[in-house]
């Protein structure tokens, strides 16, 4: 079968690799339909130390963690409900030596990496969704267990921001979303988000009042850099800042020590892989079952920018958009 693989020099190339025909126990064979290229794919390929573990699990070095397809065979131990279903996949949720990356014609993954999609949706519309949805779900579980009763999302216009908006709404959890433009604010509000603030001059005054009123003491930070520096002084008492994304690039974060003392701030990272939701197999399966009933919410859909064939991977990797839409590889 045709597959996009990683070379020793960290480049991508199309190769012919063996097509799997008999699934390993607990695994699914999936005829792939589409795979989104996520921001993380580009970061991992540029940073070998980050990606090394993922590559070591695939003997053919087939790349790809996010996608959708239809199940053609299931190994022993897989629940019967998966048979023949279309699924959204996030390969990294259940790594195993038998896994085959998703940027190919037929993938093999543990069933706990797959979310069953409703029959009435187009699978391609969720080809980059599960990574964002499970991240949002695991994060909200973690902050709720920690006693937080509201959240501030710095990258409100991101795919994970949209997923957090949908899940926070379903849990009736107060949430504030920070976006860079009025257009992004209007888009989120049209989809049901109530508290959206544009990060223009003076926005911190609005954030200070609203965050105190709503008690949003958990911060999901997908930006970092100057934005985190600006909002730290106006966060409510006892806030915890969870570092997740790198959209702020190399810009430094500067928070005065006195703020940590006066406001009892906590700064920590968030990783969905280290969350109880993902690390505990039963918790993960429970989360996937819960999400199955709400995944057709339009806020979970992948924003598709342009579609490419597998042999156009270089063009696909070079694709950039201003609105967060993604390049998608079709098989």
> Model-level pTM?
0.92
Neighbours of 44 (CB within 10 A): 20
Q: Which residues form the domain of 70?
A: 2-129+301-330
pLDDT of residue 251: 75
Are both 165 and 209 inside the same structural domain? yes
Is residue 80 included in any domain, yes or no?
A: yes
pLDDT of residue 239: 97
Name the burial class of residue 283, with classes exposed (0-12), middle (13-18) and buried (19+) by CB atoms within 10 angstroms of its CB.
Answer: middle
Could you list the pLDDT tens digit for every one of the 331 residues in the chain?
999 998 888 889 999 999 999 999 999 999 999 999 987 787 777 765 544 444 455 788 999 999 999 999 999 999 999 999 999 999 989 888 999 999 999 999 999 999 999 999 999 999 999 999 999 999 999 999 999 999 999 999 999 999 999 999 999 999 999 999 999 999 999 999 999 999 999 999 999 999 999 999 999 998 888 899 999 999 999 999 999 976 655 678 888 898 899 999 999 999 988 999 999 999 999 999 999 999 999 999 999 999 999 999 999 999 998 777 999 999 9
CB 112 within 8 A of CB 130: no
CATH number at 209 reads 3.40.50.720
**Which residue, 199, 195, 194, 165, is CA-closest to 182?**
199
CB 177 within 8 A of CB 193: yes
Place of tokens 């959240």: 151
Residue 22 backbone class (left: φ over 0; alpha: ψ -120 to 50; beta: rest) = beta
Is residue 283 included in any domain, yes or no?
A: no
Is residue 284 included in any domain, yes or no?
A: no
Is residue 280 included in any domain, yes or no?
A: no
pLDDT of residue 52: 44
Are both 39 and 68 inside the same structural domain? yes
**Which residue, 15, 3, 185, is CA-closest to 108?**
3
CATH number at 318 reads 3.90.180.10
Q: What is the CA radius of gyration of the chain?
A: 20
Q: Which helix (H) or strand (E) holds 169?
A: helix 159-170
Please count the structural domains in the chain. Answer: 2
């Amino acid at each position: 079968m045709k597959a996009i693989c990683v070379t020793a020099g960290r480049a991508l190339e199309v190769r012919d690799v063996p097509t799997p025909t008999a699934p390993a126990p607990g695994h699914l064979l999936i005829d792939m339909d589409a795979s989104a290229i996520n921001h993380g794919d580009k970061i991992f390929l540029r940073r070998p130390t980050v990606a090394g573990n993922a590559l070591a699990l695939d003997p053919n070095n087939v790349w790809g963690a996010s996608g959708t397809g239809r199940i053609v065979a299931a190994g022993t131990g897989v629940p019967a409900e998966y048979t023949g279903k279309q699924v959204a996949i996030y390969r990294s949720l259940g790594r195993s030596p038998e896994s085959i990356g998703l940027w190919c014609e037929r993938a093999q993954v543990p069933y706990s990496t797959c979310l069953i999609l409703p029959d009435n949706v187009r699978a391609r519309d969720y080809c980059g969704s599960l990574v964002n949805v499970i991240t949002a779900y695991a994060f909200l579980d973690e902050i709720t267990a920690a006693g937080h009763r509201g959240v501030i999302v710095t990258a409100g216009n991101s795919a994970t921001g949209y997923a957090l908006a949908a899940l926070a709404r379903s849990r009736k959890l107060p949430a504030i979303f920070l976006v860079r433009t009025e257009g992004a604010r209007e888009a989120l509000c049209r989809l049901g988000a109530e508290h959206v603030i544009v990060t223009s001059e003076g926005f911190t005054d609005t954030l200070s009042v609203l965050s105190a009123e709503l008690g949003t003491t958990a911060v999901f930070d997908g930006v970092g850099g100057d934005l985190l520096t600006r909002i730290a002084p106006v966060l409510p008492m006892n806030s915890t800042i969870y570092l997740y994304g790198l959209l702020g690039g190399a810009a430094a974060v500067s928070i005065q020590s006195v703020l940590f003392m006066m406001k009892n701030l906590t700064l920590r990272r968030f990783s969905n892989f280290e969350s109880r939701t993902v690390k505990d197999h039963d918790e993960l399966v429970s989360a996937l079952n819960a999400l199955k009933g709400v995944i057709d919410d339009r806020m979970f859909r992948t924003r598709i920018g342009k579609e490419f064939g597998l042999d156009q991977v270089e063009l696909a990797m070079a694709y950039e958009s201003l609105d967060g839409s993604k390049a998608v590889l079709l098989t």
